[in-house]
Structure 1
Amino acid sequence: RLIIRNGNNVEAPPVYDSYEVEYLPIEGLLSTGRHFFVELTTDSSGAAAGMALRYEAFEQGHCYEPFVKYGNFTASNPRYSVGTTVEFSCDPGYTLEQGSTIIECVDPSDPQWNETEPACRAVCSGELTDAAGVVLSPNWPEAYGKGQDCIWGLHVEEDKRVMLDVRVLRLGAGDVLTFYDGDDLTARILGQYASARGRFKLYASTADVTVQFQSDPGAGTFAYRQGFVIHFSEVPRNDTCPELPDIANGWKTSSQPELLHGTVVTYHCYPGFQLAGTDLLMCHWDLTWSGDLPSCERVTSCRDPGDAEHSRRVVSSPKFPVGATVQYICDKGYVLAGAGTLTCHDRAAGGPKWSDRLPKCIPETYEPCHNPGVPAGGRQRPERRVEP
């Protein structure tokens, strides 16, 4: 229970009692003298959110210094004498509510502001047409409510497009934040998020973005600073991805001259070099490339020359660096056709290469002897028709 008494002791008359009124009046409380007595009592039923009070002393014959949380003001007189006017404004992402934008100190006999100070709140939904601004989750940095369905429209100059810088994103279970690349909920979805995530950026393809936030109606109590902070700004309109650079010891080809979304750029390496990374990069809808730039690295080994049928091989090094050898030994009944040993040689132009082609193991063959003929006055009695 919170009681604020208009005096300096417990016997002073109360000007506020939380048992009678839940909230302090938006315009605050004024003492009739130099004292307020604040009394706070708690029970053992559980933890509560707590309280925070701001107080201020001011001169007689003057109005007190105004205050607006999450906002600022300018005053025509820094001492706030009668006749002073004050104009309020909110921090980016907040909206003025429950009060006038301009108030004046009136009544010389009892100086007071003619209107209640306004409040700055992060509201659910809105249409924003500035070149840059901020979208905050409802009630930020306090907890947003259950079962909310908020929609913000962001609109910049027609010859520009929208860049979204999502600086804080901490959502409860069942809550969803969706970005649409257009001015309504039928537009293409730029991104949809349902959990916590680090800072990131999104780029729309048009001058309009629709932001929708839906909180779970059945969720529990939310924590302080759970929600989102989104900065947006207009950036030059561009329907193409940024130009990709050439890479050392290689070249690139493109599927079309203009780097529009859907364009594929393919990277290639010169002889003697091999690609490290992906060879294909695609221009996405948000006008970013699908991956990082690859590189061409010098080849320092030969490729596996392969196996020769009907043989076994002896390898000096399994990765076939320059200088490695591979010896081929044919199985019984087969003879080698070609070089029995291959050596990996480096070349000034191109990558390393084997010293010879892959040999073959072919079956052994036997040539028959020619018939010697029959001597004069003799005859022939061969044991076999064909002599090996």
Structure 2
Amino acid sequence: MRSNTKETKPDPTTDSTTLQTTKPTTDFTTIQTTKPTTNSTTIQTTIRTTDSTTLQTTKPTTDSTTIQTTAPTTDLTTIQTTKRTTDFTTIQTTKRTTDSTTIQTTIPTTDSTTIQTTKRTTDSTTIQTTKPTTDSTTIQTTRPTTDSTTIQTSKPTTDSTTIQTTRHTTASTTLQTTFIPTTILAECPVLTVPTNGSLSPVGSNTYQDVVTFSCDQGYELDGSTSVTCQVDGTWSGNIPHCNAVQCAARQAPANGAVSPTGAVSYRNGVTFTCNTGYVLNGVGTAMCQADGTWSHTAPTCPPIQCPTVTAQANGAISTTATSYQTVVNFTCNPGYVLNGTTNTTCQANGTWGNPVPTCTPIQCPILTAPANGAFSTTETSYPTVVNFTCNLGYVLNGTTNTTCQADGTWSNLVRTCRGEMMRKCPTLTAPANGALSTTATFYQTVVNFTCNPGYVLNGTNNTTCQADGTWSNLVPTCRVRQCPTLTAPANGALSTTATSYQTVVNFTCNPGYVLSGTTNTTCQADGTWRNPVPTCRGEMSSTLIDTNSL
């Protein structure tokens, strides 16, 4: 079956024919049509026009232009239109190198025909035709031998172009086209951006679209990193989630605790505490970081320290440790008794539970002086030593002293003083030129020795009668005191060179000299001479006179 269409147009100003279809800049949709079970489906398309249609035809440099389209397997014709923002459609035909223009629709080998429609955002279609150099153009549509339609345009053998334009009194043109039932390409559910993550590209959900997922810092992907939209309208993998990075559980420090005890997610933290009596050394909190590590190392819980304890006087301590719960035991040296608690404990508040005790000396029983005797002190504390004495004429029966011992007892039994009035020591004789203080000779008698004036004591000045009947020292002697040695005066002489106490020295002068001073001097008891040494003065003149008178 043939179909001819003619359009009448004003005389063109050019010599060629151009059919140009303007490709839209917007998206287009591919519609797949399945061969219907009936003969045809009618779709009516209304094309809006203005009061005029401009067809511009440009003469090609060749004789033909070939345009090929695909037609369905039924008696349908494929029409491709471009939606424009104006009220006209421009179709431009470019000069070809052949002699004819063929519009051919080829039947596909399957039961469906693909019709591609370009979606526009405007309401009009513009067809622009340039006048050819000939007077007419014949557009011939040849019906195929199958259920499809082939539109073939052949260049006429004449030089004329016949174009017929039908003007409507209204602003629209109606084209009736038959389509087959269509099936839209598969679409998958629109994916939602995962919490704490992102996907790319956003909004893709058509068959074979691939969407890739990623997570924010501090979060890790749980599921497939990418999914693909499948032909059945489902995504190829599990839609992932972004889970917070987990930090490993922290171990509680010795003598402390950590909360919480399990694994902790990104931006959350743990808190460390110490048991009673222990103090936190380090940072008390740690945060889980984006890389799964902790912001701080775990602290320690060392024990609280109490002040240093010093051992008490005359005592000792069991340890110098000062940490929490340390027990210090106190002891005293032998002879001392503990006054206070025997131990103290370092408490959780850093103080000792008890004060340091004191060690006081052990006390021995009070002593009583023996009859006819006495003791040196009334002190009875450890380790006091008490000396005993007996009155004059009495002898001590026992040791002379006793000591207060560590066990609180005296070292010796109490002694007594018994009378001993008989002489025990030999009778003493006073030294020559000396004297005795007493002639007594009984036990413990002390005899003092002295010398007469002009005599000096040679030996100890006393002696004591001892318990064994002997004197403690020998009787001394009294030695005569000596004066300094004298020198004879010049031109004179001394009567003696002796210097002992009471010695008298006489001075004389040689003949012709007269003594000037005392004629003698005596050695005194204090060891000095009574008079100084005189001088001898010459008297020669008086002697001559006496000679002449003779």
Q: Give the alignment's TM-score, normalised by structure 1.
A: 0.26
Q: Give the alignment's TM-score, normalised by structure 2.
A: 0.20
Larger RCO of the pair (alpha carbons < 8 Å, separation 6+):
1
More strand by share: 1
Compare CA radii of gyration and give the structure with the larger one.
Answer: 2
